[in-house]
């Protein structure tokens, strides 16, 4: 997929700062450090569009990235990582409220990409996030990233375990991804375009 333009738009602290052009939005939710920013960079083939770090919990606002590719114009919305312990309880609540407001009310929101680390069994936070999306009937797709960190022979087993631990609906897709290898990139673009 050729990318025509990819730009950071805004770190939105609240709804008054969301874009008003109505383009489809894809939100990325994950625990901190799972690889949301890396995924955005790989999808857009830009090395440093989204800031990556080995220090968890730096993403505190809704970061909007506007992408124009051969087929569509859309936003990626990089979310605060959930389940990050080293912030105050109050701060966590504030982020949670903002994220929740967005997910429940944002009209251009087209799909949530729930990004999970394929190496490990989904955590209680991952399960709670999935369940919440399911309960509110929010369109979603699971992206199992860091595939390069386990051997190929283990992929299917891990995906199966992920599906059962999250208690996924049979219609929910899980896309195996690696920001390192570019694995899953075409498939994820197909999934996004298919839901616009």
Asked if 30 is part of the footprint of ligand GTP (rule: CB under 6 A), the reply reads: yes
CA distance linking residue 138 with residue 44, whole number of Å: 24
Pick 71 or 149: Cβ nearer ligand GTP = 149
Q: Binding residues for ligand GTP, how many (CB under 6 A)? A: 23
Contacts for 88 with CB less than 8 Å, ≥ 6 apart:
none
Measured CA to CA in angstroms, residue 64 lies from 25, 32, 50, 126, 171 at distances of 9, 17, 10, 23, 28
Q: Is the dihedral of CA 10, 69, 142, 55 positive or negative?
A: negative
Asked if 81 is part of the footprint of ligand GTP (rule: CB under 6 A), the reply reads: yes
Nearest approach in angstroms of CB 78 to Mg ion is 6
CA distance linking residue 97 with residue 82, whole number of Å: 12
Within 3-125, strands assigned E span: 3-12, 25-30, 62-69, 73-78, 109-117
Q: Which of residues 55-114 bind Mg ion (CB under 5 A)?
A: 59
CA distance linking residue 63 with residue 56, whole number of Å: 16
Asked if 166 is part of the footprint of ligand GTP (rule: CB under 6 A), the reply reads: no
Pick 128 or 196: Cβ nearer ligand GTP = 128
Nearest approach in angstroms of CB 40 to Mg ion is 8
Sole binder of ligand GTP in the list 18, 25, 44, 57 (CB under 6 A): 57
User: How many CB atoms are located within 10 Å of the residue 47 CB?
Assistant: 9
Tell me phi and psi for residue 85, to 5 degrees: -80, -25
Pick 181 or 196: Cβ nearer ligand GTP = 181
Sole binder of ligand GTP in the list 18, 25, 27, 32 (CB under 6 A): 32
Asked if 148 is part of the footprint of ligand GTP (rule: CB under 6 A), the reply reads: yes
Nearest approach in angstroms of CB 22 to ligand GTP is 26
- Which residues form the interface with ligand GTP (CB under 6 A)? 30, 32-38, 52-54, 56-59, 81, 145-146, 148-149, 178-180
């Amino acid at each position: 997929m050729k990318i025509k333009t990819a730009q950071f738009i805004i770190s939105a602290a609240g709804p008054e700062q969301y874009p008003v052009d109505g383009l489809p939005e894809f939100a990325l939710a994950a625990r901190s450090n799972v690889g949301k920013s890396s995924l955005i960079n790989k999808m857009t083939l830009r090395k440093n569009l989204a800031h990556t770090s080995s220090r968890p919990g730096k993403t505190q606002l809704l970061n909007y990235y506007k992408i124009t590719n051969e087929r569509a114009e859309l936003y990626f919305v990089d979310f605060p990582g959930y389940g990050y312990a080293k912030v105050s309880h109050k701060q966590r609540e504030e982020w949670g409220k903002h994220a929740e407001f967005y997910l429940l009310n944002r009209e251009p929101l087209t799909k949530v990409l729930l990004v999970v680390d394929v190496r490990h069994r989904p955590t209680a936070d991952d399960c709670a996030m999935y369940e919440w999306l399911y309960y509110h009937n929010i369109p979603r797709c699971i992206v199992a990233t860091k595939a390069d960190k386990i051997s190929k022979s283990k992929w299917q087993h891990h995906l199966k375990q992920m599906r059962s631990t999250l208690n996924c609906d049979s219609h929910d897709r899980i896309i195996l991804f690696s920001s390192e290898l570019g694995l899953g990139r075409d498939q994820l673009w197909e999934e996004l375009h298919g839901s616009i």
